[in-house]
Amino acid sequence: MQKNKYALVTGASRGIGKSVAIQLATDGFNILLHYNQNTEKANKLKKEIELIGRQVKLIQGDFNSSEGIEAFIEKTRKMLIEENDVSLHTIVHNAGHATSNAFGEVDYNEFDRLFNANVKAPYFITQSLIEFLEFSGRIINLSSGVTRIAFPHMMVYSMTKGAINTMTFTLAKELGAKGITVNSVMPGIIDTDSTANWLHTEEGQENAKNMSALKREGQPEEIANAVSFLASEKGSFITGHNMDLTGGSHL
């Protein structure tokens, strides 16, 4: 029996993750859709993707702690073992947290929360699911343009994404013999519900315009397009690459 090709997208109920899930479904992938608290949004997106003609399996998971990450991994592994029509082709690590607290304002709890969701979860999810990934599969990590631009008020977040970039090229070397590519995409200022509060102000629009060589903010669909390319056969010879999707910010 030919198995159905699936992509796992974490943090897929909204924002960039939602656009990635929709685009990959349009490309022909069935979706393993991870969400944390937004059950209503996850179910709404599930119906939207099913209208495209693709299958969706929802998997809840809280990445704020080791216990939550382990519980998500256990549920996902169980599903991949028991449902023999599922073939995992692509993993997109999108879920994560940001902070705008300055260097002296971050406490232990916030530090741990960011590293759990942004670094520990992608690392251990990949480690635990790699046996299910197809030969010539894809791993795509969501990093950030802050890894090359100094924003002191986002130092800890930048540190987590720097770790993701290092994991990307190191894991690409580790998995290359299996034909698996590992890449990251580094968005800049993207118009999502999490940035709307400040971006949809006159000051926010001016800041986005001044940062970008293209004189505008990006859209979630533009990040999804890059993920789509890396997940496709057209991206088959690209690995270990951190793709800048900042619209030329701070060039």
Please say whether the beta carbons of 190 and 218 come within 8 A: yes
Q: Is 157 annotated in the active site?
A: yes
What angle is formed at CA 12 by the lines to CA 108 and CA 85, rounded to 5 degrees?
120
- Tokens 């059950």 belong to residue: 39
Three-state DSSP class for 1? coil
Q: How far is CA 76 from the centre of its chain?
A: 17
Beta bridge partners of 243: 185
Neighbours of 73 (CB within 10 A): 17
Q: Would you put residue 68 in left (φ > 0), alpha (ψ -120 to 50) or beta?
A: alpha
Out of 6, 108, 123, 157, the active site residue is 157
Counting Cβ atoms within 10 Å, is residue 232 exposed (0-12), middle (13-18) or buried (19+)? middle
Contact between residue 172 and residue 183 where contact means Cβ atoms under 8 Å apart: yes
Enumerate the active-site residues. Answer: 157
